[in-house]
């Protein structure tokens, strides 16, 4: 999605300052958090101390900070800056928060999570909100579109309010709508095998697929991306998985008229898992081959095979506190691989099988390294219209090594699930409105 030709630097920086100040005012004067008591002295001490690793809990660091970063990112993105330029807003917002808005040592894990996670989450939120908006609509339709987009992208809504765009009728951007868009949901039941109190749970799983990497080369980041979230209940954890994956750039390797297509792509990933075997959050990049095979009669298959570079991952290990940070999860970079195959009938995904492997070298924590694996498989049988029924299996594994001689057995969790599937959208999602 091309950025607007008009870059509004003053509006962008004012929104960045607002995103810094509002949470600090809440933490300082409403909640009265000790770390929010700042002064010129605390800022000076932070610069002297330099960057380290903090002691915040897993959800704050691996979910909260990427979400905060998406606000910083959108301050730039909604004011005419492109993906990479808006990433500088996320970086600047994180640096200002770490050095000046807390009286604790600046955190390197927050800097990485806020910046990279904010870019991935922010761009997805930006594109979905722009797709939902229609500048030519009026009345009740306009109200609900603006409200929905504002919930997806609050900073973008502030920008529209400041610029007077919320109620003004004017042409939509030519690239407002992607080449295709698919939204699916699974509503059902899962049974979990492992050391978990609630083995039988309800599930809600939602997935979005934005764009089509085989229509044309991806030249702008996140012209194609996928996002998915799993919610399960009852249990101590509601959100057990949240993933966003977007192509940064792709190159066509075959003729577009061929029955077998291959695309080489670079990706950026945000990953959050929270189950009995893997409590894992990471900022990742990957590169590999994405292929599509025309099978006839409306059937086609897609495969992807990728090598993964992990900029920074947080992994919960045994309940052993880090003597420095008092955390029970460790940080480190790493690498891995992803492989998947999907079968489609028209716009309906019938079958999916995927495997992932990640190896993390700890640089802060009690472990030496962590090896994580997952396997997922699902099948759906269409009934009629958007409705189908399906089932699936998932398996997660973590093996942690400790230099202290402490031994922890491999941790695993497996689950079976059955569900009703709802699927909407498809190719030719819409013709951009003028």
Last residue of a domain, one of 107, 132, 163: 163
347 touches 426 (CB < 8 A): yes
pLDDT for the residue numbered 228: 97
E strands within 151-278? 180-193, 200-210, 225-233, 239-252, 260-274
Give a yes or no: residue 168 inside a domain.
Answer: no
Give a yes or no: residue 107 inside a domain.
Answer: yes
Q: Given a cut of 60, is residue 381 above it in pLDDT?
A: yes
Q: Given a cut of 80, is residue 322 above it in pLDDT?
A: no
Give a yes or no: residue 434 inside a domain.
Answer: no
pLDDT for the residue numbered 5: 65
Q: Given a cut of 60, is residue 323 above it in pLDDT?
A: no
In this structure, are 151 and 187 located in the same domain?
A: no
pLDDT for the residue numbered 172: 93
Last residue of a domain, one of 132, 163, 194: 163
In this structure, are 279 and 399 located in the same domain?
A: yes
For residues 387-412, give the mean pLDDT. Answer: 92
Give a yes or no: residue 170 inside a domain.
Answer: no
In this structure, are 133 and 272 located in the same domain?
A: no
Give a yes or no: residue 345 inside a domain.
Answer: yes
In this structure, are 156 and 184 located in the same domain?
A: no
In this structure, are 238 and 335 located in the same domain?
A: yes
In this structure, are 157 and 204 located in the same domain?
A: no
pLDDT for the residue numbered 275: 93
pLDDT for the residue numbered 284: 98
In this structure, are 152 and 263 located in the same domain?
A: no
Give a yes or no: residue 172 inside a domain.
Answer: no
Last residue of a domain, one of 163, 196, 228: 163
Range of the domain at 395: 180-427
pLDDT for the residue numbered 403: 84
Q: Confidence band (pLDDT; 50, 70, 90) for 320? A: low
In this structure, are 85 and 146 located in the same domain?
A: yes
335 touches 360 (CB < 8 A): no
Give the residue among 34, 35, 115 at the shortest CA–CA distance from 76.
115
In this structure, are 317 and 422 located in the same domain?
A: yes
Give the residue among 79, 67, 74 at the shortest CA–CA distance from 89.
74
In this structure, are 110 and 62 located in the same domain?
A: yes
> Phi first, then psi: what are they for 89, rounded to 5°?
-65, -40
Percentage of the chain beyond pLDDT 90 is 86
For residues 109-127, give the mean pLDDT. Answer: 97
In this structure, are 142 and 234 located in the same domain?
A: no
Q: Confidence band (pLDDT; 50, 70, 90) for 198? A: confident
Number of domains in the chain: 2
Q: Confidence band (pLDDT; 50, 70, 90) for 357? A: very high
Q: Given a cut of 60, is residue 141 above it in pLDDT?
A: yes
Q: Confidence band (pLDDT; 50, 70, 90) for 432? A: very low
Q: Given a cut of 70, is residue 430 above it in pLDDT?
A: no
Q: Given a cut of 90, is residue 429 above it in pLDDT?
A: no
In this structure, are 154 and 257 located in the same domain?
A: no
């Amino acid at each position: 999605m091309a950025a607007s030709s008009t870059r509004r630097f003053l509006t962008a920086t004012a929104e960045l300052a607002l995103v810094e100040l509002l949470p600090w005012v809440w933490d300082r004067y409403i909640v009265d958090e000790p770390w929010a008591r700042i002064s010129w002295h605390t800022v000076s001490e932070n610069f002297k101390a330099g960057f380290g690793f903090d002691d915040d809990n897993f959800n704050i660091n691996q979910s909260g900070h990427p979400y905060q970063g998406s606000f910083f990112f959108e301050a730039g993105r909604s004011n005419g800056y492109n993906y990479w330029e808006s990433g500088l807003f996320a970086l600047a917002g994180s640096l200002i928060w770490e050095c000046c808005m807390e009286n604790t040592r600046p955190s390197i894990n927050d800097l990485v999570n806020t910046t990279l996670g904010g870019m991935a989450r922010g761009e997805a939120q930006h594109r979905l909100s722009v797709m939902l908006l229609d500048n030519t609509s009026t009345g009740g339709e306009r109200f609900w579109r603006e409200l929905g987009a504002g919930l997806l992208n609050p900073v973008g809504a502030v920008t529209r309010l400041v610029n007077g765009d919320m109620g003004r009728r004017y042409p939509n951007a030519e690239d407002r709508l992607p080449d295709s868009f698919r939204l699916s949901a699974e509503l059902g039941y899962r049974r979990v095998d492992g050391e978990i109190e609630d083995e039988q749970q309800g599930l809600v799983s939602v997935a979005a697929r934005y764009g089509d990497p085989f229509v044309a080369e991806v030249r702008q980041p996140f012209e194609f991306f996928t996002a998915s979230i799993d919610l399960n209940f009852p249990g101590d954890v509601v959100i057990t998985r949240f993933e966003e994956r977007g192509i940064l750039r792709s190159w066509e390797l075959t003729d577009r008229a061929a029955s077998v297509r291959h695309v080489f792509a670079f990706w950026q990933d945000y990953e959050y898992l929270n189950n009995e075997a893997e409590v894992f959050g990471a900022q990742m990049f990957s590169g590999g081959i994405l292929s599509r095979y025309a099978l006839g009669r409306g059937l086609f298959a897609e495969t992807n095979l990728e090598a993964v570079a992990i900029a920074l991952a947080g992994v919960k290990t045994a309940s052993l506190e880090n003597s420095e940070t008092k955390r029970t999860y460790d940080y480190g970079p790493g690498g891995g691989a992803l492989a998947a195959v999907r079968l489609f009938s028209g716009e309906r995904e019938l079958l999916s099988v995927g495997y992932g492997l990640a190896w993390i070298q700890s640089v802060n924590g009690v472990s030496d390294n962590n090896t994580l694996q997952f396997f997922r498989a699902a099948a759906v049988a269409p009934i009629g219209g958007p409705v189908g029924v399906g089932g699936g299996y998932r398996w997660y594994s973590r093996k942690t090594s400790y230099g202290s001689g402490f031994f922890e057995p491999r941790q695993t969790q497996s689950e079976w699930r059955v569900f009703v599937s709802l699927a909407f959208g498809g190719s030719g999602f819409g013709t951009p409105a003028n």
